[in-house]
Amino acid sequence: MTEAIQTYCALLRQLNISHEVVEHPPVQQHYREALEWLNITLADCLPTLIMKADDRLIALVSRGDCRVDFKKIKKQRRLKNLRLATPEEFAQVTEVPIGTARPYEPGVAETLLEQKIFEKAFLMGGSGSFAHGIWYKTADLRRIPNHVIVEAV
């Protein structure tokens, strides 16, 4: 496990977010490689999107098998503009490679947690590495600072 992942796990422990790091062969082409190796489906995944919401960078955490409705988010959060972050914006708030964003990204202004993530006890999410995933206890994600639970599917 890398020093960066150990540092991130220390942050999770400070927030009392239960988690378990899992190593897998490095993803070379597509995230489905890791899914196959871990023997899980999109329904077991916890993708994190870094987005620009008006003038702020936020994280959107959802379940992998759910299609997020960005219009719903804009309406619920009273946003004028909502789009994916540029690579530069992503790097500014995460300091991890694109494709490895974690549910808790301390650099974002707010974290939106899509309510369907709480239907499962544990989900596999990003670690900041292409060779590791993290099982997160979903109920504990409510401990992420500045989070808002949204209905976005």
Q: Dump pLDDT digits (tens) for 12-43.
A: 999 999 999 998 877 766 677 778 878 889 99
- Mean pLDDT estimate for the chain: 93
- Kindly state the average pLDDT of the residues 106-128: 97
Share of the chain above pLDDT 70, in %: 98
Number of helices followed by number of strands (H, E) in the chain: 4, 9
The whole-number pLDDT of residue 26 equals 77
Query: Token digits for 35?
Result: 């899914």
- Kindly state the average pLDDT of the residues 96-108: 95
- Kindly state the average pLDDT of the residues 4-15: 96
The whole-number pLDDT of residue 36 equals 81
Share of the chain above pLDDT 90, in %: 83
Measured distance CA(23)–CA(13) in Å, rounded: 19
Cβ atoms of residues 126 and 100 within 8 Å? yes
Residues for the chain: how many in total? 153
CATH class of domain segment(s) 3-150: alpha beta
The whole-number pLDDT of residue 29 equals 60
Cβ atoms of residues 108 and 101 within 8 Å? no
Closest residue by Cα to residue 39 from 148, 124, 144, 140: 124
The whole-number pLDDT of residue 28 equals 62
Other CB atoms within a 10 A radius of the CB of residue 37 amount to 13
- Kindly state the average pLDDT of the residues 128-148: 96
The whole-number pLDDT of residue 42 equals 92
Measured distance CA(47)–CA(7) in Å, rounded: 20
CA dist list (Å): 47 to 22, 51, 63: 16, 13, 6
Phi, psi of 86 (to 5 degrees): -70, 165
Measured distance CA(70)–CA(6) in Å, rounded: 33
The whole-number pLDDT of residue 61 equals 98
